[in-house]
Amino acid sequence: MSYHLPSKQPVTCALCANESKHWPTHHPADIEFPDLDGRPSQRELLLHHRLHSCPSCGYCAQDLSVAHPSADAVVHSEAYRVLTGGLGRTFAVRQYLRRVMLTDAAEDREEAVVSRLRAAWVLEAGDKTKAARHYLSEAADLMLATPPPAHWEPSGDVDWKGWRGLQRVDVLRRANRHDEALREVARVREVRTSALVERLLSFEEAAIAREDTEPRGVREGLGIGPRLGNKEPRDPLLAYLFAYYRPRLTQMERRALFLEAYDTDAGPRWATDHPQVLALLAEGKEGLARHLERRLLAEHPDTVVINRCPKCGALARTPNARQCRACPHTWRETSP
């Protein structure tokens, strides 16, 4: 299934009142696991974290129509316009370094951390490792200055309790501050973390022992391996239901649909602690498919069609298909 961006929309700059057109910020429905320092997947980075720049005054923000009172003085400063020599020649780098200046002036510590991390990711993509490490280290300093336990408070998701503390550990590791990273591992463990975060903390300890400063992802930390191809269920019935009846699936059902397992000493374990999701997966992905088929047919008998070959019972490609993809049978003569 192809994805199409919406058209550009006019936005009025909060500083100079100039109107320009920009792609709207888009929130992907399905987000891939990020890197351990919080870097999102490339698709989410492009769609959700895009910065816009006013072509008239140079103000940079995700939403140009909103600006902190301090922004005007920053944008008109010589430092904002000049930045730092060669680094400023790359448009994306220039945008994110300017955003660092804006968030510092606004004294917004959380956004200052985010802007430094994004600057580091963009610099790293351009093979500017030393400069990237500098901004990672600055982000770590700001994280460390935030009063605990705000760093690792859960965001409401039982699976990721301790995530913010884990992210701080990884930023310190990537900034080559390994002793501090190990101290943070111990501090995060003082609170009760999820099984997923505990597994990832162990992965961080091993990486620190190797003096590893490379970017590492959640998938690698769990030992799941990279996702191959399009993000769609492997089970044919689950793929069919997701493709044609996705709006009728609950949030927990969609979560179970894509959930993967990782290996532990006690055997494979679903990558979740959520009781509702675990209940849905009690009989594996095939059991989940049977549950969804029964529920959707019972609740939406007039609109949900599970189209199977009348001869061999194989699932057809679409609800309107009239030819089996498993055997030569066709049933076009029965179509209205």
Q: What is the mean pLDDT of the chain?
A: 85
The reported pLDDT for the residue numbered 227 is: 64
Decide: 259 and 271 in contact? Cβ < 8 Å. Answer: yes
Query: CB-based burial of residue 194 (10 Å sphere; 0-12 exposed, 13-18 middle, 19+ buried)?
Result: buried
Tell me the pLDDT tens digit for each residue of 244-261.
Answer: 999 999 999 999 998 989
Determine the length of the chain.
336
Which residue, among 237, 210, 231, has the nearest Cα to 291 in the 3D structure? 237
CA 179 to chain centre: 28
Tell me the pLDDT tens digit for each residue of 218-237.
Answer: 999 999 876 654 566 788 99
Task: Out of 150-164, 263-277, 317-331, pick the least confident.
Answer: 150-164
The reported pLDDT for the residue numbered 30 is: 45
The reported pLDDT for the residue numbered 157 is: 76
Decide: 139 and 120 in contact? Cβ < 8 Å. Answer: yes
Helices (H) and strands (E) in the chain, counts: 14, 6
Helices marked H in the chain: 42-47, 71-75, 78-82, 91-105, 109-125, 129-145, 163-174, 178-189, 195-209, 218-222, 236-245, 251-258, 275-280, 284-299
* 149 upstream amide cis, omega within 30 of 0: yes
The reported pLDDT for the residue numbered 49 is: 55
pLDDT bracket for residue 213 (50, 70, 90): very high
